[in-house]
Each structure stands twice: as C-alpha cells, then as structure tokens.
A and B are shown apart, each in its own frame.
Chain A
Amino acid sequence: MHISEGVLGGPVLAAGAALTLAGLAVGLKKMDFDRLPQVAIMSAAFFVASLVNVPIGPVKEHLILNGLLGLLLGWATFPALFVALALQGVLFQFGGLTTLGVNTFNMALPGVLCYLLLGRLARNGGRRLPLLAGFLCGFLSVGGSALLVALSLATAGEEFLVVARLVVVAHIPVMVIEGVVTASMVGFLRRVRPAMLGMVQQS
C-alpha cells in the first residue's frame, strides 16, 4: 500500500504532509518518554514486517501491523510509522520521500482511530472482549488504510469505487490475518506484559 512517487498531484501530497505533521506534533506531545523504547521497537517491527511475504492464494501479502501499533502506541503511532516509512523509502525504495506524508497518514490514522475507539476495551474488557477488540483493531486498521489509499488514488484521476474495490478486496486476506495476529498479541501481552497495553501492572 505504499504509493509511489509521481503518482499523486502536488496538492494531495501537500495535504498529506500537513496532516502527517499535525499527527507527528500530537504524537510527540502525547508520547510518554518512558515508553520511548517501545515506540522504537514497534517502529522497527513495522519496518521489517513489510519484508515478510506470505503467499495467500495467488498473491503474496505481508503484515502491516498498523492496528497493533495503534493499539500499543496510541498517537505515538505517527512518529513510529513516520520513521519506519522514511527508512523504507530511502533504503528499500518503497513509496518515496515526496509521498511520505500521504503514506504515513494513510497508515497511521486508522491505527490511532482504533486506539481511540477500541483501546479501552482491549485493556479493560473481560476475558474474551479484549481479543475481539484486538481482532477488530487489526482488521479495521488495514481496511481503513486501504480505503484511504483508494481515496488518495481517486484524487489522481482513478475512479474511487473501482480502485477502492480493488485495493480493499486485495487486502481482505491481510485484514483477517492482521486481526488474528493483533488479537493474539493482545491476549499474549495481557498475560505477560500488561504494561505494554497501558494497563496498570498488578503486583
């Protein structure tokens, strides 16, 4: 879902950059600096996750993890994704520097929204509800990003419904897998490292 250089027009790139800057500002302001290492680790996880391709039917897909990042980092998802995407752009030629703003926003916003909507459920729910929250987080974040990518491409002259269907359908398997992975991570962290989910550690 990295949009390449030269696909989008100037105003869209500028709008994406502005929105990402705003997200970065909020993220850096709200970031608890005691959790800096966690932000860095999740950024690193996102950075390498895109290299792991799993064949699903005829196509190869990779994990995106933006739902997990959103759930664990909240607004700090913006700086974490920004750094990882910038490095992917420079080192791997995925996306690019001019599209960095749009790409960061497309990936980070759904994660942050999931955090705001489902974060409490993932932390406080009973036995099953956090897993459901985790699944929805992974599932909806990828779906949301796919929709935002489609929206971005629509500004470059592609028919929104056509390209949206294409991008979303292509990512349905990833959405399900991300949901399962995020739910497992939530279940795992609740048992082993509740603090990572922002839960108060019971001692």
Chain B
Amino acid sequence: MHIYHRFWPRLRGAAWPLLLALGLVLGLAHPSLAHKVNVYAYAEGDQVKGEGYFPGGDKAQDSLVELLDGQGKLLGSTHTDSKGEFSLAVPAGAMPPLKVVLKASMGHQGDYTLGWGDRQAMDTAPQQPVQPVPDPSPAAEAPAASQGELEQRLGHLLDAKLEPLTAQIAKMNADRGVSVHDVVAGLGYILGLMGLAAYLKARR
C-alpha cells in the first residue's frame, strides 16, 4: 500500500510517455504513413495501367494522374477512380522512358518510371491482326486456327494471366517502405550529429 501511494502519482504522470512509447513500439511494427503517396504503373497493350495508394493501404482516390514521355512532354492525363486505379492510352511513337506522376491532395505527389521491359511488352502486344499463315499440317480436321490467330489469342491470354503478376512487380518496384534499418540509421545520425556538435563546441 505504501509503495502504491508513493509511486502512483509518478506513474500517473508517466502514463502518457509510457503510452507514447507503447504506441511507438506498436507503430513500428506496422509502419503506415500518410506522408507520401505511392504510385506504380505497367504497360498492357497500348495502355498504361496503375494504381495510387498511401503506404497504409488507403487508395489515392480521384487524384490527377499525368503521363509524361522521356522529354517530360505531357502525353495525357486522367483521374484515379474510387479504387485508386487508372489507365491511360499511350500515343503511338511515344518516347521512352514513360513516367507517371500522381498528384494527391495536400502537397503529396508520387511518380513511377516505366522501364524498358514495359516498353517491349507494349511493342510486342498484338495490335493489328497478324497475316494468317497457311497451315502446313493437314493432320487435324479440328478447328484449325491459323498460327497468327493462335499467337494473338495466346498473347491476350498471357496478358490477362500475367496482369496480377505484372502489377505486383510494378508495385514492389515502387514500394520502398520504412524499414527498421532506416529508423535506426536516423537515430544514429542524430546521435552522431550531437556528438559532432559537442566536439566542435568543446574544442573552442
């Protein structure tokens, strides 16, 4: 009882800092920040698709998205939908690398540059029907699809099958979350700067 009376007032005073410290620990386990907006994009056919989101997972809704070419020329713009997603048509002959800039409210802005791989995906995507090649094998009586048609269908199928994967990879490229290393590094820098300042002051 004595101990309770002696320490409780202090403990009560310390409650907020303790809560803060607890929050810090819990917060570090799930770093989710509303300080910046992330955007990623990938090419599909002659479209650039992508998504804008805040690191907590909240979607960047109704945000302006601009598509720029290698020289920074504006190729097109749109707004994200309620799921934070957008798609933009790429004009033929656009100069790579293409860059997507997303402008969320309150001064948040993010960008993502599409790499060469994306550009190639765009080039090889079937855009015009390929000339049917005469089928040399007389074996099959079954619906004989020409090779070109087959390739085209396969291309579409692959595009559809691979879309989640492409999106995921693009997202991983864009996403550089806060790691414990960063936090420790920052704290170390602050300590080091303090030491430096103390050293310089002591020398004078």
Contacts and interface: CB of A to CB of B under 8 A. Distances in A.
Interface of A: 1-8, 33, 36-37, 39-40, 43-44, 47-54, 59-63, 83-84, 87-88, 91-95, 149, 152-153, 163, 166-167, 170, 181, 184-185, 187-188, 191-192
Given A4-B110, A40-B194, A50 B185 contact: no
Contacts, number: 138
A53 B193 contact: no
Nearest to B30: A53
Interface of B: 9-10, 13-17, 20, 23-24, 26-28, 30-37, 56, 58, 101, 103, 105-111, 176, 178, 182-183, 185-187, 189-191, 193-194, 197-198, 201
Nearest to A46: B190
A98 B110 CA distance: 15
A93 B36 contact: yes
B194 A92 contact: no
A137 to B, nearest CB: 15
A198 to B, nearest CB: 19
Nearest to B106: A167
Contact of A48 (B24, B32, B110, B111): B24
B177 to A, nearest CB: 9
Nearest to B16: A184
B34 to A, nearest CB: 6
Given A1-B106, A4-B107, A167-B106, A44 B187 contact: yes
A83 B190 contact: yes
Contacts of B107: 1-4, 7-8, 149, 152-153
B81 to A, nearest CB: 18
